[in-house]
């Protein structure tokens, strides 16, 4: 699997320009037109073996795109997916074409390239590997394909149709946004973000619950997650230089965050964090952290003396 630093988000050009201009209004579900009429939606079922279903389930379980789905929704997605075998150098998506499905890579690798304005030759952007999804932006924003993706060698993909994506995957993202909307407004770190950006962050959240006394972060461990405390109280402790006894160095309440320094500096955890009471947290993995909180890096660095 490639490092998270290699992740490239390819936005349709008009949307990218809106991002560059600053605050945006939220994307209305009505923008998806005919594809958003629930009364017309009937889940697609593509016959496949139990082994094939399990193989697809294993792949989407590790995919960021499907992280907000419950087990029933994942099963609907698995049933709807259709296997596509690709030959070496076969073009799967062509820049400028209309998008009618997204793909999850089952095996093999695919190269993504784009012809930028003023250029005639394509620029290589990234390589997609097993477990990664691509092609969703054209469905989300009802826009042409923003890049070309070709199979490097023989590969196997799972294709998900537009209707299932819009009614199952997109809806799950909307529910997550609504679930965390009030909480996100309380997080001091995110107050410089607009509603659209906060919504994107909520879609990357994963729930995590702890009982009083549980260790949330262990000093010396590899840092893979950042935590936002939704409910409860927690504290950080460590053995300070010259001391022999562990001391409490920080306290956390609802709206606070911790665990980001290991992701910022790619270093082991510098302290222990334990739940003082029963705690409900949401976590963000390294991939999402780098993709979504990049503009807030300076704020995080300024606060590093307060957080672990």
DSSP E strands in the chain: the ranges are: 82-86, 91-93, 101-107, 110-114, 123-128, 133-134, 148-151, 155-161, 206-210, 215-217, 225-231, 234-238, 247-252, 257-258, 272-275, 279-285
Q: How many CA atoms lie within 13 A of 149 on its CB side?
A: 26
d(CA 113, CA 92): 12
Torsion, CA 66, CA 202, CA 175, CA 136, rounded to 10: -40
Token duo for residue 23: 């605050």
**What domains, with CATH codes, occur in the chain?**
16-169 (2.60.120.10), 204-302 (2.60.120.10)
Tens of pLDDT, residues 136-167: 878 877 788 988 999 999 999 999 999 999 88
Tens of pLDDT, residues 103-138: 999 999 999 999 988 889 999 988 888 888 888 878
Angle ∠(164,167,168) on CA atoms, nearest 5: 75
113: left (phi over 0), alpha (psi -120 to 50) or beta: beta
With a CB cutoff of 8 Å and minimum separation 6, the contacts of 82 are 46, 158, 159, 161
The pLDDT value recorded for residue 19 is 47
The pLDDT value recorded for residue 132 is 84
DSSP E strands in 19-117: the ranges are: 82-86, 91-93, 101-107, 110-114
Greatest C-alpha distance within the chain: 68
User: In which residue ranges of the chain is pLDDT below 70?
Assistant: 1-40, 62, 64, 173, 194-197, 199-200, 203, 291-308
With a CB cutoff of 8 Å and minimum separation 6, the contacts of 29 are 36, 170, 174
What single-letter DSSP state applies at residue 41? -
H or E segment and range at residue 33: none
Write down how long the chain is: 308
């Amino acid at each position: 699997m490639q490092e998270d630093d290699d992740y490239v988000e390819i936005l349709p050009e008009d949307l990218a320009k809106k991002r560059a201009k600053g605050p945006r209004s939220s994307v209305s579900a009505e923008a998806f037109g005919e594809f958003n009429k629930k009364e017309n939606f009937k889940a697609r079922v593509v016959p496949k073996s139990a082994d094939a279903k399990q193989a697809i389930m294993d792949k989407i379980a590790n995919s960021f795109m499907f992280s907000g789905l419950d087990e029933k929704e994942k099963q609907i997605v698995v049933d709807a997916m259709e296997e596509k075998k690709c030959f070496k150098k076969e073009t799967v998506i062509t820049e400028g074409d209309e998008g009618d499905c997204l793909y999850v890579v089952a095996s093999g690798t695919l190269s993504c390239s784009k012809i930028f304005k003023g250029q005639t030759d394509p620029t290589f952007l990234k390589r997609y590997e097993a477990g990664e999804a691509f092609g969703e932006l054209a469905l989300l924003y009802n826009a042409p394909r923003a890049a070309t993706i070709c199979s490097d060698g023989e590969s196997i993909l799972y294709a998900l149709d537009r209707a299932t994506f819009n009614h199952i995957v997109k809806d799950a993202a909307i529910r997550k946004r609504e679930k965390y909307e009030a909480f996100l407004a309380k997080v001091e770190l995110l107050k410089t973000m607009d509603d659209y950006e906060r919504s994107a962050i909520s879609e990357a959240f994963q729930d995590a619950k702890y009982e009083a006394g549980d260790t949330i972060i262990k000093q010396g461990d590899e840092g893979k997650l950042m935590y936002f405390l939704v409910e409860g109280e927690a504290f950080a402790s460590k053995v300070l230089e010259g001391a022999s006894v562990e001391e409490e160095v920080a306290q956390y309440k609802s709206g606070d965050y911790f665990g980001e320094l290991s992701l910022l500096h790619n270093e082991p955890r510098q302290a222990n964090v334990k739940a003082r009471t029963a705690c409900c947290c949401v976590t963000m993995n390294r991939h999402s952290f780098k993709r979504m909180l990049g503009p807030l890096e300076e704020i995080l660095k300024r606060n590093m003396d307060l957080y672990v």
